[in-house]
Amino acid sequence: MKTVVIDPHLQSSYDDYYRGDISEWRELGAIDKAANIRRLCASMAPAAVLDVGAGEGAVLQRLADSGFGERHFALDISASGVERIRNRTIPSLVECRQFDGYAIPYADSTFDLAVLSHVIEHVEHPRLLLNEAARVADRVFVEVPLEHNRGLPCDFVWDPVGHINFYTKKTIRLLVQSCGHEVLEQQQSHPMLRQYRYRLGMKGIAAYLLKESALRAMPSVAHSLWTYHSSLLIRSRRPSNVSSRPQSSQPSP
């Protein structure tokens, strides 16, 4: 893969992103994210799972603790994130590496599943990363926040979260398909009540109930007003001369 230079502004914002105490907010978010992975991949029994853009490893920790996958691998652009993951207690973690955000350092068809959970909204060239994930894995799980709604401003403003791409449930699906990959399943979800209470206190309960009721009664209206999440399970595109991964193959160290 041709080397892609990361915007220095983006790189610097992530280098020390995970320094300090582990964020309770990210740990809470990982509950829903890991549950969405298990739900969409319920028909799978993946042995080798790669978490691309694993952050500080909260999602990977929950997947491993729940018995989803036998061998786990992690990649992140952030040095502080890689350090955090290595300091976690994940017995099934085979390897955690820092990477450049695009070139995944594994051979074709190495993994059963690659996970891109809340990553695509951060990267400058999402198709490059999607194609790399599809190259190394039989299936790819993608989840993004659906932020292209009424609350999205007309002009871009940089924020500390680092989102630079904004999606609807239709545009994330089209993005995947424009890469030539097949969407096997797509589901929308709503973060759990505990996250609302963490951010907003008692007001969070009312906000959650309003958004949850609207999502059930008027999903199209709800998506046009507020941010929910969309998860997709993708079948990797491979050249016709590439066969399925042999049962005996192992991820390279």
Read off the pTM: 0.88
Do 80 and 103 form a contact (C-beta atoms < 8 A)?
Answer: no
223 in a structural domain: no
Question: In this structure, which amino acid lies at residue 191?
Answer: P
pLDDT above 90: residue 152 = yes
Give dist(CA 11, CA 220) in Å, integer. 36
Q: Flag whether 3 is in a domain.
A: no
The structural domain count of the chain equals 1
In a domain, 203, yes or no: no
Q: Please say whether the beta carbons of 196 and 212 come within 8 A.
A: no
At 25, is the pLDDT very low, low, confident or very high (cuts 50, 70, 90)? confident
H helices of the chain, in order, are: 8-15, 24-40, 58-65, 79-87, 126-136, 169-178, 193-200, 203-217, 219-225
* Mean per-residue pLDDT of the chain: 89
User: According to the model, what pLDDT value does residue 238 have?
Assistant: 61
Q: Does the residue 12 lie in any domain? A: yes
Q: What is the mean pLDDT of residues 209-238?
A: 94
Distance of CA 72 to the CA centre of its chain: 15
The answer as to whether 211 is a domain residue is no
Confidence band, pLDDT 50/70/90 cuts, at residue 245: very low
% of the chain at pLDDT higher than 90: 80
Is 74 contained in some domain?
yes
What separation in angstroms does the CA of 176 have from each of 3, 130, 161, 216, 233? 22, 8, 23, 26, 10
The sign of the dihedral angle between the CA atoms of 143, 66, 18, 105 is negative
What's the confidence (pLDDT) of residue 236?
82
- pLDDT tier, 159 (very low <50, low <70, confident <90, very high otherwise): confident
Q: Alpha-carbon distance 118 to 144, whole Å?
A: 5
pLDDT of residue 32: 97
How many residues in total does the chain contain? 253
Query: Does 180 reside within a domain?
Result: yes
CATH number at residue 161: 3.40.50.150
Residue-number span of the structural domain to which 59 is assigned: 8-191+228-235
